Amino acid sequence: MEKEEKQELEGAAAAAAAARRRLVIGVGFWVQGFRLFPWLGVNFFLKDGMGVAASSLQILQASANLPMVAKPLLGLLSDAVPIRGHRRLPYVAIGALLQAISWLAIALWQDISLQVLTIFLLLSNFGASICEVANDAIVAEAGKIVTSSSGSGQLQSFAWMFGSSAGALGNLLGGIALSYFSPKIMFLFFAILLLLQFFTTVAIPESSLKLPKAATPSNLSALTSIRKQVKELSCALSMPEMFWSIIWFTVSYAVIPFLLGTMFFYQTEVLRLDSSVIGLSKVFGQVALLAWSMSYNKYFKTMSARKVLSVLQFVTALIMLSDVLFVQGIYRKVGIPDSIYTIVFSGLLEGLMFFKVLPFSVLIAKLCPAGCEGSVMAFVMSALALATIVSGYLGVALAAFMGVSGDDFSALPACLLIEAVCTILPLCCSSLIKERREKEKKEE
């Protein structure tokens, strides 16, 4: 009888810990997904409030992601240097506070210059990178607790659903808010939301999450712990299936000269589309992400990662080819309004650029050795950030080389065609995507 009662108590404690983990993951990914709300305001603030050119806008968008490249270091710190005995939630709280300070400063600074604005945007993304590293590590660690094959990937899908739903809501509210309020009001609102996240995170003890214990002994110095973690990270990355998969994933983004800023100017300056249409376009992309996270968990998580990633890459190239027809006015001639195409296809293209992250993160979580989940996932996200920065710079270079500017978009179809061709190139080396060896699968 006592044994049954003990089992019931342990089961109840495990269920409570699982619920708290889902709460922490849900809040963390929801707030970070809602970052699209102020960033939509940033685009219009730069274009209309500060008169920034299309090339400068895209350079700033890409450069603002530079703090994300520091994720491996942040992952090592999170894994090896606990704060008051905890490795995850304190870092989430610090990241939320840094973001809140940044957006408060941007909202309240009168006559802010472009240089000062850039500094605070960089600080905001540095705080966001700290939050994302800690949140990704929590997902990876909590995923180790789920041992059944049916549970594999569920937490990743759960996190993506919260993040994408918040992104959809943020873009929807952002498109509406821009019609009634100044962008600085949007910045202030998001700063208050971040402060709420900070106080909520501080109030939750990390021990209540029942995450797997760190393999690193607690009596080691911070420097020794970091050295040990660096060694474990290098060993993990030296695994052929891990190394070559990350190489392909990074290259699949870096080779694309992404024309996001140029298309934003074309849609708002040439087509004169309203901010609500741009917001709805981004909402559609986030809704597509939400639908993808649900569909992946239900239908695609058992499929080969190589097959899923290759199909997504090919579909992305098709949408880019469709943009060529859009810019040439073909869809307008057959009765499809520019606003409808922008909402559906432009939104879907932005979503597709991140569709690959979900199946790839599930693949890496399966391959990742225990004890260095935070640093490995941080390295992957850092590689993604660096790749998107390179992609943004290549887009600026391509537009400049082809003579596309805020006043002349005649060469934009040719630029979009080159963009689509570059997107196809990674499919030629999709064999680099390695999965767990058959022997290990059978043992598992």
**Domains 1-207 and 222-434 equal at CATH topology level:** yes
Q: Token pair 């809704």 is at which residue?
A: 287
- Is 326 in contact with 359 (CB distance < 8 Å)? no
Minimum mean pLDDT range among 3-7, 94-98, 105-109, 294-298 = 3-7
Q: Print the SS3 string covering the chain.
A: CHHHHHHHHHHHHHHHHHHHHHHHHHHHHHHHHCCHHHHHHHHHHHHHHCCCCHHHHHHHHHHCCHHHHHHHHHHHHHHHCCECCECCHHHHHHHHHHHHHHHHHHHHCCCCCHHHHHHHHHHHHHHHHHHHHHHHHHHHHHHHHCCCCCCCCHHHHHHHHHHHHHHHHHHHHHHHHCCCCCHHHHHHHHHHHHHHHHHHHHCCCHHHHCCCCCCCCCCCCHHHHHHHHHHHHHHHHCCHHHHHHHHHHHHHHHCCCCCHHHHHHHHHHHCCCCHHHHHHHHHHHHHHHHHHHHHHHHHHCCCCHHHHHHHHHHHHHHHHHHHHHHHCCHHHHCCCCHHHHHHHHHHHHHHHHHHCHHHHHHHHHHHCCCCCHHHHHHHHHHHHHHHHHHHHHHHHHHHHHHCCCCCCCCCHHHHHHHHHHHHHHHHHHHHHCCCCCHHHHHHC
Q: Where are the domains of the chain?
A: 1-207, 222-434
State percent of the chain over pLDDT 90.
26
**Are the C-beta atoms of 28 and 92 separated by less than 8 Å?**
yes
In CATH, what is the architecture of 222-434? Up-down Bundle (1.20)
Q: What residue has token string 């989430």? A: 92
What tokens appear for 221 in the block?
């110095």
Ramachandran region, residue 258 (left: φ > 0; alpha: ψ -120 to 50; beta: rest)? beta
Measured distance CA(160)–CA(403) in Å, rounded: 38
- The answer on pLDDT for 251 being more than 90 is yes
- Between CA 268 and CA 276 the distance in angstroms is 11
Q: What is the mean pLDDT of residues 175-194?
A: 91
Nearest of 119, 66, 120, 401 to residue 262 by alpha carbon? 401
Tokens, residue 19: 């619920």
Q: Is residue 20 within 8 Å of 208, Cβ to Cβ?
A: yes
How many other CB atoms sit within 10 Å of the CB of residue 322?
A: 18
- pLDDT over 80 at 18, yes or no: no
| Interatomic CA distance for residues 194 and 93, integer angstroms | 9
Mean pLDDT score of the chain: 82
pTM equals 0.73
Q: Which residues contact 361 (CB under 8 A, 6 or more apart)?
A: 136, 156, 377, 380
Q: Please tell me the CATH code under which domain 1-207 is placed.
A: 1.20.1250.20
In angstroms, the CA 61 to CA 57 distance is 6
Read off φ and ψ for residue 83, nearest 5 degrees.
-110, 115
N-term to C-term CA, the chain: 34
Instruction: Please report the pLDDT score of residue 21 as a whole number.
Output: 81
| 359 pLDDT more than 90 | no
Contact call for residues 279 and 171 (beta carbons, < 8 A): yes
Question: Percentage of the chain with pLDDT > 70?
Answer: 88
At residue 255, does pLDDT exceed 60?
Answer: yes
Predicted local distance difference test score (pLDDT) of residue 417: 94
Which pLDDT value is given to residue 317?
93
- The span from the CA of 37 to the CA of 173, in Å, is 7
Measured CA angle at 245 (ends 239, 249), to 5 deg: 145
Residue 406: phi and psi, rounded to 5, are -65, -20
Split at pLDDT 50, 70, 90, the class of 262 is confident
Compute φ and ψ for 210, nearest 5 degrees. Answer: 55, 45
pLDDT score recorded for residue 442: 42
Is 399:258 a contact under the CB 8 Å cutoff? no
Question: What is the pLDDT at residue 150?
Answer: 43
State yes or no: pLDDT of 418 exceeds 90: yes
Q: Please state the separation of Cα 129 from the chain's center in Å.
A: 10
